[in-house]
Chain A
Amino acid sequence: MSGRRFWAHLHLLDRQLVDRDGRLCGNVDDLELEWRDGRLWVSGLRTGAGSLARRLGARVLGAWLDQVHRGVDPERADHTFIPLRHVADLGDHVTLSLDRTEVATWHGERWVADHVIAHIPGSGHASDE
């Protein structure tokens, strides 16, 4: 998706992110902008607790959260940044062409799933009808 004009603040910021299988995977917590040809373009989305904290004015906390995030796996790509080419559709939510495991919020979800929820009987089953 490139060259489309929209109100970035109104149509992108704080929208729900949905992965390619329709699963909820965080919000658009911030935008990455770049100057090109004398104009400001959105180059990608920022997501995750670090970006949100920074936008709320907590710079130190935000930097720390991002660092914790990277510390989990230094080898891995930066999952808090989503280049615009991975945005498949813009509507009342933002659909990505990624899997949720490639988006920042996944790591928190997985940690809680593995360490807490998986230990409770019935966590892998849908609710009884």
Chain B
Amino acid sequence: MSRFLKIFLGVLTAIGGFVDIGDLVANAETGARFGLGLAWVVLVGVVGIVVYAEMAGRVAASSGRPVFDLVRERLGPRVALVNLLASFFINFLTLAAELAGVAIALSLLAGVSYVLLVPAVAFLVWVVVWRMSFGAIEHVFGIMGLALLVFVVALVHLSPDWTSMLHEATHPALPTEETPFTYAFFAIALFGAAMTPYEVFFFSSGAVEEGWTRRDLATNRLNVYVGFPLGGLLSLAIMAVASQVLRPAGISVGTLPQVVLPVAVVLGKVGLAVAILGVFAATFGAAIETGLSAGYTVAQYLGWQWGKFVRPRDAPRFHLVVLVSIVLGALFLLSGIDPIMVTEYSIVLSAAALPLTYFPILVIANDPEYMGTLTNGKVLNAIAMTYLCILTIVAVATVPLMIITKGGA
């Protein structure tokens, strides 16, 4: 493959792979309830994930060490264990939510209850993790996920008043039926959805899986600096479409089909089919990423051999953790729990757990022993420190807000 094509493919993958069940639900839900009053949070979240994913990619490319390896080295075994338990639990909720997303997308086509499809979906996800090469997994689902661009098409087709939309986004106002607490709660949900910790676990482990070296740093930057912001725009399109179609109709988002409802209203059956394909690809890809991340975190904390770059026989406990996580995720859904609630909890709790993951990345990215000459610059450090402060405030505020708002109700 030519170098240009490879980079182009990488950027497309980063765009399509940016959105997962958390982004779909959080953006549609806030669009329906707050209009564009929370759009600025997506912007803040995207800058945050860009800053830290680039750092994690750079660390992995220059030292070959993935994120959870560093978490233990810098936080010590005890704090790292707390982080592992929290991250593993949140990652598990996310995995279950993604599996539900795939099953719901298929159920819209098959016309049966999604719960019946969960076992088959879990099996399919596991087979892909077990057999498909890492590069193929990333590209196939990332590029299929571009079908979500249908939300952009729907938005343009609506031909909304762009200036008033811009005004709404830049002058956030609190809708009369909401409280400052629900506003803050959904801000955290959007923030958590954009900065989910599994993204950096997966991104940095993926860099090691693909054998990145310093020569791949340009690719890293392009994927992150171009792909992620465009993925963020896609998230905003989902929010904008919901604010244009669902909000005036007084429809709030309580199920996944309501996320794609606006596309069906604006573009009809064909649009709906493309949107369903996009949701399927985005959640399927993310289910694989979270399944792998379950294995990555545990194996990297304990030093076990991990990764798809070796035969499964050579990374047995890594594959066992992945398999068990997927099976448990499916069983959790079969208990009949509401998948939208699982999604909301996963993104809000993500926000709370973020500092423990991002702090070690920042420390290592400044350590010449790992980075050689590739340590952070001053501006980047200033931005990264600011985010660490925001993350800490968010982490402290999350649980009280969950209690006050009764989970955003």
Contact = CB atoms under 8 A, between A and B. Distances in A.
Contacts of B172: none
Contacts of A125: 311
B313 A124 contact: yes
Given A24-B304, A24-B305, A120-B312, A16 B130 contact: no
B136 A129 contact: yes
Contacts of B161: none
A14 B76 contact: yes
B72 A14 contact: yes
B133 A128 contact: yes
Given A16-B69, A27-B72, A109 B317 contact: yes
A116 B303 CA distance: 20
A122 B310 CA distance: 13
Interface string B71-96: 01100111011000000000000000
B131 interface: yes
Contacts of B76: 13-14
B306 interface: yes
B124 to A, nearest CB: 15
Interface in B319-333: 319-320
Given A27-B72, A56-B77, A109 B132 contact: no
A126 interface: yes
Contacts of B77: 14, 29, 52, 55-56
Interface in A100-129: 100, 105, 108-110, 112-113, 116-118, 120, 122-129
B133 A117 contact: no
B312 A16 contact: no
A112 B320 contact: yes
Contacts of B320: 112, 116-117
Interface bracket on A: 35 or more
Contacts of B178: none
Contact of B319 (A24, A56, A117, A129): A117
A61 to B, nearest CB: 13
A122 B130 contact: yes
Nearest to A124: B313
A11 to B, nearest CB: 8
B316 A113 contact: yes
A29 to B, nearest CB: 8
A93 interface: yes
A128 B302 contact: no
Interface string A1-32: 00000000000011111000001111101000
A120 B136 CA distance: 22
Given A16-B69, A127-B133, A92 B369 contact: yes
A117 B315 CA distance: 9
A123 B306 contact: no
A116 B311 CA distance: 14
A121 B12 CA distance: 33
B130 A26 contact: no
B58 to A, nearest CB: 14
A73 B63 CA distance: 37
B210 interface: no
Contacts of A109: 304-305, 316-317
A117 B312 contact: yes
Contacts of A55: 77
B317 A126 contact: no
Interface string B368-384: 01100000000000000
18 contacts: A14-B72, A26-B303, A26-B304, A27-B72, A29-B77, A49-B302, A105-B304, A109-B305, A110-B316, A113-B313, A116-B316, A118-B313, A124-B311, A126-B311, A127-B131, A127-B132, A127-B133, A128-B133
Interface of B: 63-65, 69, 72-73, 76-78, 80-81, 130-134, 136, 302-306, 308, 310-314, 316-317, 319-320, 369-370
Given A127-B133, A128-B131, 9 more contacts: A14-B73, A14-B77, A23-B314, A24-B306, A52-B302, A56-B78, A92-B369, A109-B317, A117-B312
